[in-house]
Structure 1
Amino acid sequence: MANSSDAYPERPITLIVPFGVKSDSQTYAQILAKHLKKYLNTTELVIENRVGDSGAKAASEVKLMRPDGYTLLLARVGSQVVAPALKPSLPYRHTDFTFLGVLLIEPLVCAVRADAPFKSHHELTQALRKSPGTLKFGHAGPGTIHNMSALYLMRLAGLKLDSATGVGFNGAIEVKEALLNGQIDFMCINAGSFISLIKDGKIRGLLTTAPGRMPQLPELQNSREVGMRDLGSILGWTALVGPPGMPPKLVGKWRATLQALGKDPQWLADLAAMGAISALGTSKDSDKFMQEQSELYQRLVPIMGLQE
């Protein structure tokens, strides 16, 4: 492969997506495929979904593929660092892959219904402290960052983890519907799911986990501004990785390609419409980010009693 890396890619590249066709992962895969054609000799990215075990099925399969650059994984926070923290018996860790770059981050928004009595996260945590166990929060599964962010919010506020009752649903769409119809009292979920609802006045955002103010919701404070700095570590994110052992020339080619993509105005606009932020920086920054994320969930999962 080393001799032909200069001509790479010469045929379509398979992009494995670890979640279903209605997921945000699928949307980001489609956005990536659309824009990469401009930088990879118009080569097509063929999207294939490998659903199962919170993303671990896809990651486990890609780890065993040939490292020729023709099978890549759209790595998500759930598949790469949360799943191994939840289930240490999984046959991989995030360092077992050829890392090409973090593509984007998705801040979370913690929110309540517009008619809720809580005007701020301080008022919400006060209510949890006053009447523990009476309020409910929604999530898309015990091991999701939706669940962990709500639990971490309570922990950072000095509350017990059972101060609110978690209610699981089948995906983010059902969680939003549950909030709107009064089945739950609050939730912390990917910001893109909230933007239109907040702007329409149907729900009230309390905070985001964005590193700064979100351009789409400039009036909404982030976790650092409201005194919950560490909550800002809970983010959705998407990276691009390949099987272990990809040749250095291919890795360099991909990293240069992603650097160019990170400056593409149309790429940036498509991410902004989803409530996401391009994270295509230096490889050193991305490597550090991945390691910090892995360490975060290795620490949080046992504390929250979620490890299998």
Structure 2
Amino acid sequence: MQIRFTPALLAVAAATAVALPAQAQSFPAADKPITIIVPFSAGGPTDRVARDLAEAMRKPLGNVSIVIDNATGAGSSIGTAKAARARPDGYTLLLNHIAMSTMPALYRNLPFKVDSSFEYLGIINDVPMTLVGKPTLPANNYKELAGWISQNKSKVNMANAGLGSASHLCGLLLQSALKTQLTTVPYKGTAPAMTDLMGGQVDVMCDQTTNTTSQIAAKKVKAYAVTTTKPLTTPQLRGLPTLDSQGLKGFNVTIWHGLYAPKGTPAPVLAKLNTALKAALKDPVFIQKQQGLGAVVATDRRVEPAAHKQFVAAETAKWSPIIKAAGQYAD
């Protein structure tokens, strides 16, 4: 079939070609805020990363207003779906963590595709995890904790922030490594899980340093180990041994966060957002805030969109068999 290029059709094509550069030049408008959808509850670790990042990205984007929309539920799939449906104009973004690589295995009927419903903007940080317990737990170190868990097994209550959360995933790996099935207690967010852990309603939890560091420093929970293969240098967590060094060889869980835009967002707009993101990741205040929470700001090639997407694909391939082996998924 031959297409006839009429003057009207050529005019539309020319207008479209001019519109994209014009949109990039006008983005972001001073009077139009950018919304970052966070698919987890306010006050949680991912929310804290998002709010710090929003502040750091304001200046490189011309001091535009950036607001946070906490669209929670279903292991971050509700907020992620909301972002996928958003108008692809750069004014709605998504900040999510490792859930972007685990949702395909956890949920059978997602209303979006992680690999094709989004434009990838870059990885933000890597966040270690810590194994913590209620303050009245009889174990005072990991060796004692492992013995206590072995004696009590299914009587041990392990909290998490819900299906697909970082604490849920870390808990799956820990139970697999210990060859023990604990009683898991899912919550609707990290904050209520931590509240009950401090209050002694649950026994243990494996969660991000962005949520546990201040509680460990205040001695509101007992800290047993970090999930990285090397000890952390954060002042509050320095000296806390790794699980790898205490018998769980190769145990290594790090939670990462990334920034996304809806599929179809114009390339010039994406370029501006990526430039602003990379500027934010070099902001001394942002870096200091993240370090204070035990997080490591990304400086490698994953801050580039293509490498970010490749990384998520690799993480998906790593986590899918672990989740399927555990048999923990939702419709």
Alignment size in residue pairs: 303
How far apart are the structure 2 equivalents of 1:55 and 1:43? 26
In structure 1, C-alpha distance between the alignment counterparts of 2:33 and 2:220, rounded to whole Å: 44
- Compared with structure 1, are the counterparts of its residues 120 and 154 closer, same or farther at alpha carbon in structure 2 (3 Å cutoff)? farther
1:268 Cα shift? 0.7
Does residue 169 of structure 1 match 2:190?
no
Partner of 1:303: 325
Aligned match for 1:197, one of 215, 226, 237: 215
**Take 2:78 and 2:172, find their aligned partners in 1: how far apart are those partners?**
26
Q: What is the one-letter code of the residue matched to 2:150? A: R
Q: What is the CA-CA distance between 1:98 and the residue it aligns to?
A: 0.3
Q: Distance in 1 between matches of 2:249 and 2:166?
A: 17
**Is residue 157–residue 185 contact of structure 2 (8 Å, CA) maintained in 1?**
yes
Matches within 5 A, 1:8-157: 8-10=27-29, 11-78=32-99, 80-96=100-116, 97-157=118-178
**Which residue is equivalent to 1:185?**
203
The correspondence for 2:262, drawn from 229, 239, 243, is 243
Q: Does structure 1 residue 221 correspond to structure 2 residue 241?
A: yes
Equivalent position of 2:14 in the other structure = none
Match of 1:255 among 236, 249, 274: 274
Q: TM-score, normalised by structure 2?
A: 0.81
Amino acid in structure 2 at the alignment position of 1:42: N
Q: 1:95 aligns to what SS in structure 2?
A: coil
Quote the Cα distance in structure 2 between the aligned partners of 1:34 and 1:246: 22
Question: 1:224 offset after TM fit, Å?
Answer: 3.7
Contact kept, 8 Å, 1:84 with 1:92, in 2: the verdict is no
Q: Deviations over 1:91-134 (max 9, x none)?
A: 22321210001112322110124553434334333333344323
Aligned-pair distance for 1:174?
2.9
After superposition, the Cα gap between the structure-2 partners of 1:62 and 1:144, relative to the gap in structure 1 and judged at 3 Å, is closer
Report the CA distance between 1:261 and its aligned residue: 1.7
Moved more, 104-113 or 120-129: 120-129
**Residue deviations 1:24-47, cap 9 Å, x none?**
333333222211121111122233
> Which one-letter code corresponds to 1:86 in the other structure?
L
Change (3 A) 1:113 1:57: closer
1:107 partner SS? strand
Provide Cα deviations, 1:243-265, integer angstroms capped at 9, x if missing partner.
11333333333323222222111
Contact 2:128/2:295 (<8 A) preserved: yes
Q: Distance in 1 between matches of 2:135 and 2:41?
A: 31
Match of 1:276 among 273, 295, 298: 295
Q: CA 1:151–1:111 in structure 2 vs 1: closer, same or farther (change >3 Å)?
A: same
Q: Equivalent residue for 2:3?
A: none
Paired residues of 2:34 and 2:66 also in contact (CA < 8 A): yes
Secondary structure at the counterpart of residue 94 of structure 1: coil
The runs of 5 or more residues in structure 2 that have no matched partner are 1-18
Shift of 1:206: 1.6
For the aligned residue pairs, the C-alpha RMSD in angstroms reads 2.5
2:282 & 2:291 partners in 1: Cα distance?
Answer: 13
Q: Partners of 2:125 and 2:67 in 1: how far apart?
A: 20
**Sequence identity of aligned pairs in percent?**
25
Look up the SS of the partner of 1:100 in the other structure: strand
Question: 4+ runs of 1 displaced by more than 4 Å?
Answer: none
Q: Which structure has the larger Rg?
A: 2
* Structure 2 counterpart SS, 1:194: helix
TM-score normalised to structure 1 length: 0.86
1:221-259: per-residue Cα shift (whole Å, max 9, x none)?
A: 2344335455423x3332110011333333333323222
Candidates 295, 300, 308, aligned match of 1:286: 308
CA 95–213 in structure 1, closer or farther in 2 if over 3 Å, else same = same
The structure-2 alpha-carbon separation of the partners of 1:99 and 1:44, relative to structure 1 and needing over 3 Å to count, comes to same
Match of 1:207 in 2: 225
